[in-house]
Chain A
Amino acid sequence: DVKVTQSSRYLVKRTGEKVFLECVQDMDHENMFWYRQDPGLGLRLIYFSYDVKMKEKGDIPEGYSVSREKKERFSLILESASTNQTSMYLCVSRSDRVPGNTIYFGEGSWLTVV
Chain B
Amino acid sequence: AQKVTQAQTEISVVEKEDVTLDCVYETRDTTYYLFWYKQPPSGELVFLIRRNSFDEQNEISGRYSWNFQKSTSSFNFTITASQVVDSAVYFCALSEARNTGNQFYFGTGTSLTVIP
**A contacts, CB < 8 Å to B:** 31, 33, 35, 40-43, 45, 48-50, 56, 58, 88, 90, 92, 94, 96, 100-103, 105, 107-108, 110
Contacts and interface: CB of A to CB of B under 8 A. Distances in A.
Contacts of A107: 43-44
Nearest to A96: B102
B100 interface: yes
A42 B106 contact: yes
Contact of B101 (A50, A88, A90, A105): A50
B108 interface: yes
Contact of B102 (A35, A40, A43, A94): A94
12 contacts: A31-B101, A33-B103, A40-B9, A43-B106, A45-B104, A49-B101, A58-B103, A92-B104, A100-B52, A101-B33, A101-B104, A108-B43
Contacts of A100: 33, 50, 52
Q: Interface majority SS on B: helix, strand, loop or mixed?
A: loop
Q: Interface majority SS on A: helix, strand, loop or mixed?
A: strand
B14 interface: no
Contact of B104 (A33, A88, A108): A33
Contact of A105 (B33, B45, B109): B45
A94 B43 CA distance: 20
Contacts of B113: none
B104 A90 contact: no
Interface in B1-32: 6, 9
Contacts of B50: 100-102
Nearest to B94: A101
B44 A108 contact: yes
B75 interface: no
A101 B95 contact: yes
Given A101-B33, A102-B50, A42 B102 contact: no
Given A88-B43, A105-B44, A42 B100 contact: no
B101 A56 contact: yes
Nearest to B108: A42
